[in-house]
Amino acid sequence: MEATWPQNSLGLYVHIPFCRRKCPYCDFYSVTFADQAQLQAYTERLCFEISACSEDYRGKPVDSIYFGGGTPSLLKPAQIGTVINTMASRFTLLKDLEITMEINPATVNRSSLEACKTAGINRVSLGLQSLQDKELRVLGRIHSAAAARKAITAADAAGFHNLSFDLIYGIPGQTITAWMQTLQEAVSFQPQHISIYLLQLESQVPMARAIARGELVLPAEEDIEAMYYQAIDYLHDKGIVQYEISNLALDGYLCRHNLRYWQFGEYLGFGAAAVSRLGGRRWMNAADVDAYMAGGPNRSEAAQIVLEDMKPRQQAQEAIIMGLRLTNGLNVEAFRRRFGISLLQEFRPVVERFTSSGLLELDHGWLRLTKAGLLVSNQVLCCFVE
């Protein structure tokens, strides 16, 4: 529970909601972009929102910036640089700042990546998803396996030494063998970080409807379980160690920005659908580009929605849900100091239930999910808020 970021610092998130084409499994807010003029107007609106940010945050130290989407790599490097420079004029960007950009392999080359690095990006998260063309077609991705390999090589040639790969398992038609082939090839490129995500579908997305109609078939549950555990073990043997349910990294390359979420830190979000949390208050900008673009100089006019004013107990519950995603788990004493309650006493029935069933363990003052618990984490974590 001890924070891994400087005291009183913030993380900044920038949502770029544009995609060339919406993937059939994706439930994140995104729209098909029209043209470069639209991206330029959105960039200007972002900078306006950042500049108009409350005086309460002016000069506050920032140790991570994350450009997510959507497809942030649709922005021109100069536009990325303009957003970063605007942040630098409003906040105090710390020297060892981590600045991540999510990248679709079909949208970059060595030249554009070199320009992104010059603009300030120092960590790239490549949305490979798979290195099998058949699986990429099922996922509706706009890139091929060859394009993914080319993008990895371009990122390396551009001088990026903090590369993260996103990979998906549980894809319709995917086999354990094909999944392990993707992992093995991914590791051969020597990334510093790998995220492995189970394909999880909301009922309204096109792929879920295709599965309901019998047009696509998901792998068997036992195969999905094998994919997860074999991936964790294989990557561990390669020195890429699990630190969160879906995230693994070489020593020293944990994603600082995402750690802020999991360790219940504070962050500000900019852009359509971006979420912010300060203290017990969490809010988001409307998931509507037109509404966002129409926002006035006050952040409250950017069609903001207050999600929650969390009471102390609610904050503690969220910290548990997020913190138990980490393989280290929660330090019970640090939790008591931060929230003023005993985790083991306040949530005794839940803790006893899942330690007895082997899904949680208490070890030298740390409460964590077991290896079995990691795969069914949602079943455990939701019980802390019931």
So what's the pLDDT on residue 28?
87
Q: Are 158 and 117 in contact (CB under 8 A)?
A: yes
| CATH of residue 364 | 1.10.10.920
Residue 222 belongs to a domain:
yes
**CA nearest neighbour of 240 among 226, 250, 252:** 250
Residue 287 belongs to a domain:
no
- Amino acid identity, position 131: L
Residue 283 belongs to a domain:
no
Q: Do 131 and 248 fall into the same domain?
A: yes
So what's the pLDDT on residue 279?
85
In the chain (386 residues long), the average pLDDT of successive 10-residue segments reads: 66 96 91 89 94 81 96 97 96 95 98 98 98 98 97 98 98 98 99 98 94 96 97 98 98 97 95 93 91 68 75 94 97 96 95 97 97 94 90
Residue 275 belongs to a domain:
no
> CA 368, 9, 336 angle in degrees (round to 5)?
35
Q: What is each CA distance from 317 to 57, 160, 386, in whole angstroms?
A: 26, 38, 10
Q: Do 133 and 207 fall into the same domain?
A: yes
So what's the pLDDT on residue 305?
81
Q: Are 271 and 288 in contact (CB under 8 A)?
A: no
CA distance 52 to 95: 24
Q: Do 98 and 199 fall into the same domain?
A: yes
Residue 180 belongs to a domain:
yes
Q: How many domains does the chain have?
A: 2
Q: Do 78 and 160 fall into the same domain?
A: yes
Q: Do 79 and 176 fall into the same domain?
A: yes
Q: Which of 262, 286, 304 is the last residue of a domain?
A: 262
| CATH of residue 202 | 3.20.20.70
Q: Which of 200, 231, 262 is the last residue of a domain?
A: 262
Q: Which of 202, 229, 262 is the last residue of a domain?
A: 262
Q: Do 329 and 245 fall into the same domain?
A: no
- Report the chain's terminal Cα–Cα distance, integer Å: 22
So what's the pLDDT on residue 67?
99
Q: Do 195 and 325 fall into the same domain?
A: no
Residue 208 belongs to a domain:
yes
Q: Do 371 and 255 fall into the same domain?
A: no
CA distance 265 to 364: 24
Q: Do 240 and 323 fall into the same domain?
A: no
Q: Do 370 and 228 fall into the same domain?
A: no
CA distance 132 to 29: 26
Range of the domain at 131: 10-262
Q: Do 230 and 376 fall into the same domain?
A: no
Residue 151 belongs to a domain:
yes
Residue 236 belongs to a domain:
yes
Q: Do 133 and 52 fall into the same domain?
A: yes
